[in-house]
């Protein structure tokens, strides 16, 4: 299958293990160059906007955009973002209408889609994004595909703890002002805060310990915090409980009912179960939806227990083939609806 071959080509960019195409890197650039060549092969007119987002327009520009991202987390998976891009190229090529978009920097706060929406330029009439689920719901339901109802709101920030450096061997335990101990206690409080709020999650994924010597008591520690909740009220509550000042914040975003219905109808018409579910991960579709663009997302079942952001991330060839079929048919239907409006 051509899509799987293209996923392999993208996965081969950069040194392993896993996919390593961080935002702003030569590897992300190389992936965009490769995608641009595939767009040209599909007969699309290729352009790059001021934020570095890659666009491929069909001869019939129906103002329907389809796409995802090509940047990855460190040691990421083969399918996250990349599947949505290669599927979008196929879908627009087969539909003969619409625009493929590859947004920059999704993994670091949806930089490309935010910049596009803030540019003041015209927004598309609709946006569709195919993405792996990155969770276990579809696998547990025995469903290859699902339609997203809404995208969780999230906030990212840091907490900083200051103590006093000292010798690890000569400073008594009861005389220590250890910044790392304070940070460890805070990490547990982050977890407890999320557990108290229904549907919320919070993660500490990065610590920076100074001065960083194995025989030196830490005098300064920074921890990253990623906080997520299904609605604005619960997100506000979680942020306040943790005590972060968000550097990035994305509000919860509902997906547009009409495009969702098209995706569901295409799924059901193939004899597949109609599964709808919220997304616990942020996506470019959420940024466009928050900016007023009618948006919808098609999820592909994640196997291996739904693991993602890992080389163990996996979706089957059969599920991917079904997803591309559904996306292609949906692009054509949504495009014709936009043209008729």
Please determine, for residue 16, whether its predicted confidence score (pLDDT) is greater than 90. Answer: no
Q: pLDDT tens, 200-227? A: 999 999 999 999 999 999 999 999 999 9
Q: Quote the number of domains for the chain.
A: 2
Please determine, for residue 341, whether its predicted confidence score (pLDDT) is greater than 80. Answer: no
**Mean pLDDT estimate for the chain:** 96
Same-domain check for residues 27 and 148: yes
The two beta strands, 295-300 and 248-250, are: unpaired
- In this prediction, residue 14 has a pLDDT band, given cuts at 50, 70 and 90, of confident
- In this predicted structure, what is the pLDDT of residue 216? 98
Same-domain check for residues 23 and 98: yes
**Strand spans (E) along the chain:** 45-48, 54-57, 60-69, 97-103, 126-132, 145-151, 153-162, 201-203, 207-210, 220-229, 248-250, 253-254, 276-279, 295-300
Placement of tokens 């946006």 in the chain: 127
68, 31, 104, 302 alpha-carbon torsion, rounded to 10°: 40
- In this prediction, residue 62 has a pLDDT band, given cuts at 50, 70 and 90, of confident
- In this predicted structure, what is the pLDDT of residue 61? 67
Please determine, for residue 331, whether its predicted confidence score (pLDDT) is greater than 90. Answer: yes
Q: What is the rounded average pLDDT of the residues 161-175?
A: 98
Cross-strand bridge partners of residue 160: 222
Please determine, for residue 20, whether its predicted confidence score (pLDDT) is greater than 80. Answer: yes
- In this prediction, residue 340 has a pLDDT band, given cuts at 50, 70 and 90, of confident
Identify the domain boundary among 199, 219, 249: 249
- In this predicted structure, what is the pLDDT of residue 76? 97
Residues 299-335: b if buried by 16+ CB within 10 A, e if exposed: bbbbbeebbbbbeebbbeeebbebbbbbbbbbbbbbb
Q: pLDDT tens, 117-145? A: 999 999 999 999 999 999 999 999 999 99
CA distance 107 to 191: 22
Same-domain check for residues 25 and 117: yes
- In this predicted structure, what is the pLDDT of residue 59? 84
Helix (H) or strand (E) holding 212: none
Same-domain check for residues 87 and 60: yes
- In this predicted structure, what is the pLDDT of residue 133? 98
Angle, CA of 65, 250 and 337, to the nearest 5°: 25
Same-domain check for residues 52 and 201: no
Q: What is the rounded average pLDDT of the residues 265-277?
A: 97
Same-domain check for residues 260 and 236: no
Please determine, for residue 187, whether its predicted confidence score (pLDDT) is greater than 90. Answer: yes
Cross-strand bridge partners of residue 226: 156, 203
- In this predicted structure, what is the pLDDT of residue 250? 84
Tokens matching residue 115: 């910049």
Q: pLDDT tens, 83-117? A: 999 999 999 999 999 999 999 999 998 999 999 99
Identify the domain boundary among 189, 220, 249: 249
- In this predicted structure, what is the pLDDT of residue 251? 85
Which domain does 219 fall in, by range? 153-249
Identify the domain boundary among 210, 234, 249: 249
Same-domain check for residues 76 and 213: no
Same-domain check for residues 148 and 257: yes
CATH number, residue 275? 3.40.630.10
- Measured over the CA atoms of residue 87, residue 91, residue 94 and residue 96, the dihedral's sign is negative
Same-domain check for residues 256 and 331: yes
Same-domain check for residues 69 and 203: no
CATH number, residue 228? 3.30.70.360
Q: What is the rounded average pLDDT of the residues 187-203?
A: 97
Residues 156-184: b if buried by 16+ CB within 10 A, e if exposed: bbebebebebbeeeebeeeeeebbbebbe
Same-domain check for residues 158 and 290: no
Same-domain check for residues 123 and 262: yes
């Amino acid at each position: 299958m051509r899509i799987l071959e293209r996923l392999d080509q993208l996965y081969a960019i950069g040194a392993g293990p896993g996919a390593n195409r961080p935002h702003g890197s030569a590897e992300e650039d190389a992936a965009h160059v490769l995608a641009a060549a595939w767009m040209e092969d599909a007969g699309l007119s290729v352009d790059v906007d001021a934020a570095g987002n890659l666009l491929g327009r069909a001869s019939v520009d129906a103002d329907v955009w389809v796409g995802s991202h090509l940047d990855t987390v460190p040691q990421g998976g083969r399918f996250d973002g990349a599947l949505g891009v290669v599927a979008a190229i196929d879908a627009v090529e087969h539909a003969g209408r619409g625009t493929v978009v590859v947004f920059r920097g999704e993994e670091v706060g949806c930089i490309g889609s935010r910049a596009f929406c803030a540019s003041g330029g015209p927004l598309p009439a609709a946006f569709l994004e195919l993405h792996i689920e990155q969770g276990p719901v579809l696998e547990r339901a025995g469903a290859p595909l699902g339609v997203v109802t809404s995208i969780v709101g999230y906030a990212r920030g840091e907490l900083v703890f200051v103590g006093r450096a000292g010798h690890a061997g000569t400073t008594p335990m009861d005389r220590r002002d250890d910044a790392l101990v304070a940070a460890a206690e805070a990490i547990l409080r982050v977890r407890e805060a999320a557990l108290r709020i229904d549907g919320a999650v919070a993660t500490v994924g990065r610590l920076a310990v100074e001065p960083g010597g194995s025989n030196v008591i830490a005098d300064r520690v920074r921890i990253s915090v990623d906080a997520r909740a299904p609605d604005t009220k619960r997100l506000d509550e979680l942020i306040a409980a943790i005590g972060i000042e968000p550097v990035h914040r994305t509000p919860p975003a509902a997906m547009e009912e009409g495009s969702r219905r098209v995706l569901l109808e295409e799924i059901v018409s193939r004899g597949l179960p109609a599964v709808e579910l919220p997304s616990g991960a942020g996506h470019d579709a959420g940024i466009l939806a928050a900016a007023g663009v009618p948006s919808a997302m098609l999820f592909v079942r994640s196997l291996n227990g739904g693991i993602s952001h890992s080389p163990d991330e996996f979706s089957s060839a059969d599920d991917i083939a079904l997803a591309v079929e559904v996306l292609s048919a949906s692009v054509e239907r949504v495009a014709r609806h936009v043209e008729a409006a």
